[in-house]
Structures are given as C-alpha cells and as structure tokens.
Amino acid sequence: VKHEGQGKKNERVNIVYAKDDQLHELNSKAVVMASGGWVNRYIMKDMPEDYHRAYDYFGHSPVLVANVALTNWRFIQRLGVSAAIWSKGFGFSCNIRRPMIVGNKAQPLHPDKPIVMTFYAPIFKPGLTRRQQGAMGRAEILGTTFTDYERQIREQMTMMFSDSGFDPANDIAGIVLNRWGHAYVNPGLGFRFGVNGETAPPDIIRKPHGRIAIGHSELRGHQYWSGAAGEGRRAVESLLDLYF
C-alpha cells in the first residue's frame, strides 16, 4: 500500500493484493487501514518515520482462547457458578455464556443441554521485556500441538470439576483453539500521554498520512469491539473531510 502521483488531484493510493495465487493491483482515492500496527508497519511502503517510531510503543502479546463444546453443564450447576478463575495450570479463567439469541429464536439455557465453555490463556515470560515475552509467547502458542493443548484443558477441567461430576470422556464434545498471536496491545511507558512533551504515539498514528488513515482498536490501548468501531469511524471521517 503506497501513494502514487503528485498533487492533490492526481495522487492516488496503489494497492497490491493476492488472490488465487496471483497478484492484483488497483488504485484508490483513499484507504482506511483497519489492520493492526504489526501489519501496517510492513505493508505501508511509504509510511513516515515518525509513524514507525510511534509504533515502537505498541507491543503486542498473545492469548490462546479455547472454546470447549460441552454435552451438558450439570457439573457447573452443582457448584452454583457460571465462571471460575485460578492462579495455576492452563489459563486463568473460564466461563459459560447464554446461547446466542437470533431474532425470535433462542436455545434453552439448561444444564442438561449443550453449551460452550471458553478458556482464556495468556502467555507470560516473567523477567523478559514485553517485546521478548511477546515473541516467545507467539512461538509457543503457534508451536504447541493441538494434542498438547487438549491434554492441558482436560487436565485443568478434571482438576477443577471432577468432584462435582465432570467426566471428560462424556462431557466434552469438541475443542476449538483460537491462537491469537497479537491478541492485545501491550503499550510501553509514554504510550498514552507521550514523553518529554512529545505527542502521544496513538495520536501520531491517528493523523492521516496523505490519503491513508489508520483505524484500529489498539490506538485505545485495549483491543475491543467498541474501540475498533470508534477508531474506524474516526479514520473514515478524517478522509471524508480531506478528499470527498
């Protein structure tokens, strides 16, 4: 992604993308980059140097999110809880949630019915810098086999829930792993307010670079849906004001 042409009337953004094992090219009047900094700084070919320096403050850390399909959740009902947290073992928390309601259709929330239990497992490497922890965590989360993670999940659930009747052979119908290598932004000092009177890094990234504007939830210091929608809207409106 890069600018081409000279002058406000002639300038365009050139985009090269891959589809069906072939490279394609198009030109656009303006572009919103909704991707994160770990992508933007490598594909925006004419990104200014101050943007690169600002992105140095945007560390990113991995999280494994495991969705465990249960045939029932009677073992949780017996404990009188819908979520749990702990300090040792696989992950640190899990929960069940009411099945999705679509229009007028709603699945019954009953302990004899299937449900999904979600586990959250961030990866920490105490004693290392945040960047080193992020890199090592991504290597671990991508290098660990499904079988190893399945074993860890089964062992964790057995340790926590076997006394209330949990049986992994009968109660687990399936497991889906979501390996988020850049799950959340892990900002450095000076991220929110800048240092030595300088502009805060997110505010540098928010400024349109020519006909390209960046909108991503990481600019809020926390990656979540409402932040993503807000930053995306801001990026679109900044280009509308300039070029449309």
> What residue ranges do the domains of the chain occupy?
2-57+188-243, 60-185
What integer pLDDT is reported at residue 139 of this predicted model? 97
> CATH number of 2-57+188-243: 3.50.50.60, 3.20.190.10, 3.40.50.2000, 3.40.50.1000?
3.50.50.60
Q: What is the pLDDT of residue 9?
A: 75
pLDDT tier at 86 (50, 70, 90 boundaries)? very high
Q: What is the β-pairing status of strands 12-19 and 2-4?
A: antiparallel
Q: What is the mean pLDDT of residues 96-115?
A: 89
Is residue 177 within 8 Å of residue 64, measured between CB atoms?
Answer: yes
Give the global pTM. Answer: 0.84
Segment 106-117 mean pLDDT: 92
Give the pLDDT score at 83: 96
pLDDT (tens digit per residue) in 158-174:
999 999 999 999 999 99
Q: Give bridge partners of residue 184 from the DSSP assignment.
A: 61
* DSSP letters spanning the chain: -EEESSHHHH-EEEEEEEETTEEEEEEES-EEE-S-HHHHHHH-TT--HHHHHHHTTEEEEEEEEEEEEES--HHHHHHT-SEEE-SSSS-SEEEE-PPPEETTEE----TTS-EEEEEEEE---TTS-HHHHHHHHHHHHHHS-HHHHHHHHHHHHHHHHGGGT--HHHHEEEEEEEEEEEEEEEE-TTTTT-STTPPPHHHHHHS-BTTEEE--GGGGTS--HHHHHHHHHHHHHHHHHHH-
